[in-house]
């Protein structure tokens, strides 16, 4: 996406910025994250996303051990704690297109969209240093979705869910 009026003085050409960066300047780009601490082995943790009007979403789970990571469409859930997102542009007052609930409980899965793994770099426990469990970029219509991870590391570990999105406006 080219921004008119901005010229690179070295290349003497128009400055190019990607779509997400442009959304940051518009004030329609959002960040949400939550750290889950001491998650017991075999525990299932749901982070529920209620999308209103659409969201262009990228997400991941990071952690200290192995986990199954799923991105799912949800028909029914029990409310957790709602935690507001952070606008990447603090000067803007736009309303986010998504509400996120941590420590919610999914009651009914409508569709399993992505199944992936978070791998441990070695050993069991907080020092294991798991790799990232990314799920790809989606343009989501309004609906309810969840990031679900299941700790399969053999011990209690910490995990973090990181979501980045922008209000798509013209996603169709």
Q: Please give the pLDDT value at position 123.
A: 40
Sequential DSSP letters for 45-91: EEEEEEESS-EEEEEEEEESS-EEEEEEEEEEEE--EE---EESSTT
Q: What is the pLDDT of residue 93?
A: 87
Q: What is the phi-psi region of residue 10: left when phi exceeds 0, alpha when psi lies from -120 to 50, beta otherwise?
A: alpha
Query: Do 120 and 65 contact (CB within 8 A), yes or no?
Result: yes
What fold does the segment set 30-166 form as a domain?
Answer: Jelly Rolls (2.60.120)
pLDDT in tens, the chain (172 residues): 444 456 666 666 666 777 777 777 788 889 999 999 999 999 999 999 999 989 999 988 888 889 999 999 999 999 899 988 998 888 988 888 899 999 999 999 999 998 888 875 444 433 334 446 677 789 999 999 999 999 999 999 999 999 999 887 654 4
Q: What's residue 64's pLDDT?
A: 85
pLDDT at 28: 83
The β-bridge relationship of strands 55-63 and 133-140 is antiparallel
pLDDT at 169: 67
CB within 8 Å of 117: residues ≥ 6 apart: 66, 67, 68, 69, 133
């Amino acid at each position: 996406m080219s921004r008119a009026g901005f010229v690179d003085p070295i290349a003497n050409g128009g400055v190019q910025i990607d779509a997400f960066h442009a959304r940051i300047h518009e004030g329609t780009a959002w960040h949400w994250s939550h750290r889950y601490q001491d998650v017991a082995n075999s525990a299932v943790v749901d982070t529920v996303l209620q999308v209103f009007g659409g969201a262009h979403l990228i997400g991941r789970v990071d952690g200290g051990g192995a986990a199954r990571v799923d991105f799912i469409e949800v028909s029914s859930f029990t409310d957790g704690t709602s935690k507001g997102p952070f606008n990447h542009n603090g000067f803007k007052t736009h309303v986010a297109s998504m509400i996120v609930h941590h420590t919610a409980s999914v009651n009914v899965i409508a569709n399993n969209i992505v199944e992936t793994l978070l791998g441990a770099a070695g050993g069991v426990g907080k020092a294991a240093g798991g790799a990232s469990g990314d799920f790809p970029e989606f343009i989501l219509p309004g609906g309810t979705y969840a990031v679900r991870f299941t700790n399969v590391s053999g011990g209690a570990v910490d995990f973090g869910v990181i979501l980045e999105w922008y209000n798509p406006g013209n996603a169709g």
